[in-house]
Every structure is written in structure tokens, then in C-alpha cells.
Chains A and B, each alone.
Chain A
Amino acid sequence: MKHFINIIADPIFSFPIFSLLFFAMIKWYRVVGTKKFAWIFLAISVPVTVWFLADPQFIKIILWPDNIPINILVILIVFLTWFPLYKAAENDKRLEQGLEPVEALPENREKVWAWPNLVYTELFAIIAGTIFLVVWAIIFKAPLEEPANPTWAPNPAKAPWYFLGLQEMLVYFDPWMAGVVLPGLIVVGLIAIPYLDTNPKGNGYYCFQDRKFAITGFLYGWLVLWIYLIIVGTFLRGPNWTFYGPFEYWDFHKVVAEYNVNLSEFLWLKWLNTSMPKNIFVREALGIALTFAYLIGLPFISLKTKFGKDLLEKVGTMRYYIVIFLVISMGSLPIKMVLRWLFSLKYIVALPEIELNL
């Protein structure tokens, strides 16, 4: 059993499984968003977690001091993924019956005095927060390793945990994409959300039915591409950024044979059976053409679909192209992952001469 989990925890399996579970959760959010589901999930996950924690290797990684915040985050996220779905399912049912959302009920619209209602709540939160931080600080000492030594790098050398999703992306993209362009697009894309989402519904209350596309897109990025990758980068990446299952000892001598091949090598050496052309742009012509087709062709192709037509009609031309650009930028990561796993594809465009690898 542990061996089996070690194998399926590898992103090759766990990423598609996690993605499928995510879309199943979205599709059946009304089943997930019930108290019954939450209790059944809890009843199953508690014994499973205990069983995981009984493993010495697993608990060693879990209890590494700087990983504690991620454990807290994971527990919070499991609950806080269910909770808005529960609230949304409740409101969607009411909206279907022609009622107002719970937040709009007269008793919730009623105005209350800031003193004492808000001020006392804040006081309680401050006391609870103080106690939490003090207890945490007493139980776990802040980590401190050997003094800085610029001549000896630890293996693995990991960024702070909140950047490990980006570091995990380095497996699939070069630093200019994983470390600069994609994070930049995340920030710009987040700021742009209110200007792109012209849907007036769902303002100030939980719902799902009226905001399907916005919520699904945001949650996929947040849960699968951000949180999941942080979990992989933290718990499942050992020396040399090699994959290690949750119960697998971090053996420094684990060697993983990796022969990743560029698209241009596939084209010229394998399919056309000739030598690589001298001109670097001719050499990479196919990859460059595919990249442009992906970036420019896809927005036009999606206009042929019902989804694209509806979106264009709702938000207008300018917003349509920006939304599609952001979505296909986000989609580039799963696509690159799948290509790597299926074909050992390294770069679609490989121009190391000008440091431009894609």
C-alpha cells in the first residue's frame, strides 16, 4: 500500500488525479457542499491522516519546523474549500426558488453598532491570535541551521515555502518563464480580474451557478496550480529536486534517468532523419510556429465555439482577448507538464544561443 502511494504521489499521476478530483468537485459541488459530505470526508480523512503520520519518514518531513505553516495551511484549505461551496450551494438553491441569498435577508442587512459588535469581535480575534502565536512560538523553536557558507550548497536548496510552487515550475519551464513572466502574469492577471469580470451577479454573497467560469478558473489556479505545486515542492522533492514519495527515504544516490528531447531534435533528427540546420531560427521554426499558433490562433479558434462566442458577446472584444490570453498562459503549465510526461519533451522552442527556451 505504501509503495503504491509512493508511486501515485508522483506528479505524473497525482497531477491528473488531483485535476480530475478538482473538476469532479466543481461538477458535483452541490453534493460536496453538504454537511453530510463534510462529515463523511472527515470520518475517512482522520484515520488516513493518522495512518500517514505513523510513518517515520512522513512525520519527519511534516515536523520539519518550516513546514509547520504549510500543514496548517493545508488543513485550513481543505475546510475553506468546502465551506464556500456549502454556502454557495445553499444560496444557489434559494436563488433558483426565486428567493434572495442568505446574506440579503433582512436580519443580515440590519445595521448594528460598531461598538460593541465589531470592536468586541476584534478584541476576541486579537486575544485568540496572540494566544495562537505565543503557543506556536513556545512549542516550535524558530529553525536555525549552520552559519552561512557560500562555498557549500545544501541539497536540496529550497526557496521559502510560499515560492515553492514557482520553484516546482522550474522543472517544466526555464527561470525566465517560471520565475519572472508567469509570476508577473499572475499579479497582473489578479489585479485585472475586476475589470475583466463584467458579470454583475454574485457581488457580496456566496454563489456558484451565476459565476461558473470565474470561480472555476480562479479555483483551478489557486488550488491546483498554486497550492498543489507548493505541496509537491515542499513534501515530495528531495535532493537534486528528485521526486520522493511521502514514505520514501531521501536517498542522495537516487538516480532518475531523464532524457528530455527538444521539439527541434524530434523534427530534424527523428522524423526527417537529417542533421540540424545551421540557422537557429530555421531549426526552431516548428516550435516558433506552434507557439504563435497557440498564442494567436487559439483566441480565434475559440471564437468558433459556443463558449467563445458567449464570452465575446458578454465582455466585448478587448476583454475577450485579454481573458483568453491569461487563460492560455495559465494553461501553458499543465500542457507543458503533460508533454514532458508523455514525450519527454524538453523545450518547444530551444534557443539557448539567446537564452530563449520555451
Chain B
Amino acid sequence: MSAKGLADKVRDTQVWKSIFRHGPPNNSRNRAAVVAGNVFLHLHPIKLKKSGVQLGYTWCMGGLTFFIFLALTVTGVLLMFYYRPTAEYAFNDIIALREHVPLGIMREIHRWGAHAMVITVWLHMYRVFMTGSYKPPREFNWGVGVILLVLTMLLSFTGYLLPWDQLAIWAITVGSNMAKATPFAGHGGPGAALAQIGDFVMVSDKNDVRFQLLAGRFVGEPALLRFYILHCVFIPLVVGVLIAVHFWRVRKDGGISAPL
């Protein structure tokens, strides 16, 4: 039996037909059906302008950002099986990942992917600016994109602490020290001294924004747990919702931009 004959036979089985409700996508009707009838593919329009698939126009950076986000989700879940976010175990678990997992590259993919995602999301914004794609009717979606860009950097930043090595805690110390200088809301920032009634200090190092971020006055175990939850659960959930909004609006605002 030829390969084509075998393929036809497989397509004719009840199992295949129950999964794919349409014939092979080699005519217009089935090409529309394959995109519209698949929960993943229906993110796409059925037809789109040619400039929307040209690398010279789109740079593919938005798509790559989403791909890396998915790759980071998969590798991140795998890493969560081996990692305990406590001062006692965190560093040792990372060592164990390195020493005891043969050919293990999940942590490498996760770390380099995180850096790569920051780069691709920046370049995506840069391309969207250079083609003027933020202009009406896409103003709102540009704003959603800016927030996603900030969240990407926060995801990367919160993940930076988790290996619990010298690089991690001191980078987060440098970063979070900025929070203490927040005007009115950080104890070392301008205006904090004004928030004082008699002897009662309203903004101190025990309750300011840095304390809320680190769950303490320095980068310690409570900060590790807090960053772990932010990194693995909270920010990814928010990002997931915003990605849905972002993609939905790309479609609703007329697809990938092109001259009006």
C-alpha cells in the first residue's frame, strides 16, 4: 500500500473522523474548516493579508514571545517538581538539578528562554512602533502590550531570586532597594517623613512598599516564598489573561496591521 493510500485509510477511520471533523485542507472549504474548527488554530483568521505573514514586516517577534512563554511554562512546571522554595533547600535543589539529572538542560532552557523573552518582547514593541501599528484602531491593544512587556520583565525579575545564590539575592537586593525610595510609600523616599502624626510613623521600613514586596526588611526566606508564588502562579495567571485579551484584540482591531 502506498503512503498516500495509507493516509487515506487512516483518515477514513472512526477515530480520526471523531477528532478532525473535516477532510484534508487542500480545498477552500476544508482550509476554512481546519482553522475555524480547531480551538488552537481558531486564534487565526481564516484568511489574512499577505504582509501579515512576511517576515520583513512582522519580524515574528510577537509570535516568538508567545512561543517562549509556552516553552517557559512547560520547563517551569518540570522544574517545580524538583524545587522547594525555602532557604534550606532552594540552592541544594538547584545543585541537584545540575549534578544528578543526566543531560539535564531544563533549567538552562528556562533561564536562557527568560532572557530571550525579554529581548523578543522589546523587539516586538519596537517593530510595532516603527510600522505605526499602535495608531487607531489599535491604541488600546498597544497599552495592553506595554503592560505585558512590564509583566515579562517582572516575571524574569522574580525568577532571578529563586536559585538562591549570591547573584540572585544581591540582584534582588539592588532592585528592591529602589522600592524603598518610592515617594510617600517607601521609608527612604521623599515625602515619607511627612506621613507622621506625633510620634507615630506611618511609613517605616516595617510597612512600606519594599516590606510588602519582600515580606521583610531584607531579602530573606519570606521574600523567597513571595517571589516564588509571584513567579509561578500570580504573574503567569495575569499574563495569561492579558495575552488572551491581546490576541483577541489583534483580531477584532482588524488583524495584523497594514496600510489603511
Contacts and interface: CB of A to CB of B under 8 A. Distances in A.
5 contacts: A104-B259, A114-B48, A191-B142, A193-B142, A201-B132
B239 interface: no
A146 B182 contact: no
Given A118-B53, A356-B190, A150 B219 contact: yes
A44 interface: no
Contacts of A119: 35, 41, 44
A354 B184 CA distance: 11
A125 B66 CA distance: 11
B208 to A, nearest CB: 12
A109 B258 contact: yes
A229 B155 CA distance: 22
Given A103-B258, A119-B41, A134-B105, A193 B134 contact: yes
Interface size class of B (residues with CB under 8 A): 35 or more
B220 A150 contact: yes
A116 interface: yes
A80 B46 contact: no
A346 to B, nearest CB: 16
Nearest to B110: A142
Contacts of A150: 169, 218-220
A204 B132 contact: yes
A310 interface: no
Given A111-B48, A118-B52, A187 B146 contact: yes
B69 to A, nearest CB: 11
B189 to A, nearest CB: 5
Interface stretch (B3-11, B116-124, B242-250): B116-124
Interface of B: 25, 28, 31, 34-35, 41, 44-57, 59-60, 63-64, 67-68, 71, 87, 91, 94-95, 98, 105, 107-113, 115-116, 118-119, 122-123, 125-127, 129-136, 138-139, 142-143, 146-147, 150, 153, 156-157, 160, 163-171, 173-175, 177-183, 186, 188-194, 218-220, 257-260
A333 to B, nearest CB: 16
B63 A125 contact: yes
A353 B170 CA distance: 28
A4 interface: no
Contact of A162 (B57, B129, B153, B182): B153
A107 B51 CA distance: 9
Contacts, number: 279
A193 B134 CA distance: 8
A128 to B, nearest CB: 9
A355 B123 contact: no
Given A112-B48, A114-B46, A118-B48, A130 B194 contact: no
Given A80-B123, A203-B260, A159 B175 contact: yes
Contact of B135 (A146, A175, A200, A206): A200
A77 to B, nearest CB: 8
A84 B173 CA distance: 38
A133 B109 contact: yes
B134 A222 contact: no
Given A144-B98, A203-B259, A197 B135 contact: yes
Interface of A: 66, 68-69, 72-73, 76, 80, 83-84, 87-88, 100-101, 103-104, 107-119, 121-122, 125-126, 129-130, 132-134, 136-138, 140-150, 152-154, 157-163, 166-167, 174-176, 178-181, 187, 190-191, 193-195, 197, 199-207, 211, 215, 218, 222, 351, 353-356
Nearest to B71: A133
B157 A80 contact: no
Contacts of B156: 160, 162
Contact of B113 (A80, A88, A133, A157): A133
Given A69-B115, A148-B168, A176-B189, 11 more contacts: A73-B122, A108-B49, A114-B41, A115-B31, A129-B64, A154-B170, A159-B175, A193-B134, A194-B139, A200-B135, A203-B257
A355 B188 contact: yes
Given A154-B170, A181-B183, A144 B94 contact: yes
B68 A129 contact: yes
Contacts of A88: 130
A232 to B, nearest CB: 16
Ranked nearest first, the 8 interchain pairs of A and B with the lowest CB-CB distance are A179-B178, A137-B108, A175-B181, A194-B139, A69-B115, A356-B190, A104-B259, A202-B132
Q: Which of B135, B165, B191 has the most CB of A within 10 A?
A: B135
Contacts of B136: 194, 200, 203
B111 A142 contact: yes
B166 A111 contact: no
B191 A354 contact: yes
Contacts of B143: 191, 194
Contacts of B45: 114
Contacts of A354: 190-191, 193-194
Nearest to B113: A133
B151 to A, nearest CB: 11
B123 A179 contact: no
A162 B118 contact: yes
